[in-house]
């Protein structure tokens, strides 16, 4: 069974709803399951044991949420050099009132340090969350789950 860790931070439920859609997409793939976790409750063991990672953050002041950064800060030293982390596939989804690019850049920059492998373009939602965003998030979940299940990533 392939496990995709869907990690998110959400104060207004916007990013949480996106995370739930990503998880729904993961769960729709045979032999894949989503583990949906808030960033503050996510541990190094969660990062090490999953087959792929979906990172969700709102954009605050042109940056990722502090809880996502905190997850990276808490786990980086222990994760560095671990074979379970090297080239682990990841995707990102962002809710933003602006363009989301600052949050995306900060997430991608840290993922390079972890040596994660970006496997799809992100979903960035600006303004109102319409049905199209949830469809795109679901597709993002399907992409990472199917790719991991097929051993493409």
| Per-residue DSSP letter, 51 | S
> What pLDDT sits at residue 136?
98
Domain count for the chain, please give it. 1
pLDDT in tens, 95-133: 998 899 999 999 999 999 999 999 999 999 998 899 999
- Could you tell me whether strands 52-58 and 2-8 are parallel, antiparallel, or unpaired per DSSP bridges? parallel
As given in the structure block, the two tokens for residue 113 are: 């340090």
Range of the domain at 6: 2-149
pLDDT in tens, 28-51: 999 999 999 999 999 999 999 999
Residues sharing a CB contact under 8 Å with residue 14, sequence separation 6 or more, in sequence order: 58, 95, 125, 129
Indicate the pTM of the whole model.
Answer: 0.96
pLDDT in tens, 63-80: 999 999 999 999 999 998
As given in the structure block, the two tokens for residue 83 are: 């074979």
Can you give the CATH number for the domain in which 35 is found? 3.40.50.360
């Amino acid at each position: 069974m392939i496990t995709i860790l869907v990690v998110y931070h959400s104060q207004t439920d916007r990013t949480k709803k996106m995370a739930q859609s990503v998880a729904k997409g993961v769960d729709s793939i045979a032999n894949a399951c989503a583990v949906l976790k808030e960033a503050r409750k996510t541990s190094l063991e969660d990062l090490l044991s999953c087959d792929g990672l979906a990172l969700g953050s709102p954009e605050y002041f042109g940056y990722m949420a502090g809880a996502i950064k905190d997850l990276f800060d808490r786990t980086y030293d222990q994760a560095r050099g671990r074979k379970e982390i090297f080239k682990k596939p990841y995707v990102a989804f962002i809710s933003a009132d602006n363009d989301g690019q600052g949050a995306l850049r900060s997430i991608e920059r840290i993922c390079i340090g972890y040596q994660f492998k970006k496997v799809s373009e992100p979903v960035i939602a600006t303004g109102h969350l319409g049905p199209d965003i949830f469809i795109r998030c679901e597709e993002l979940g399907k992409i990472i789950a199917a790719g991991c299940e097929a051993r493409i990533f």
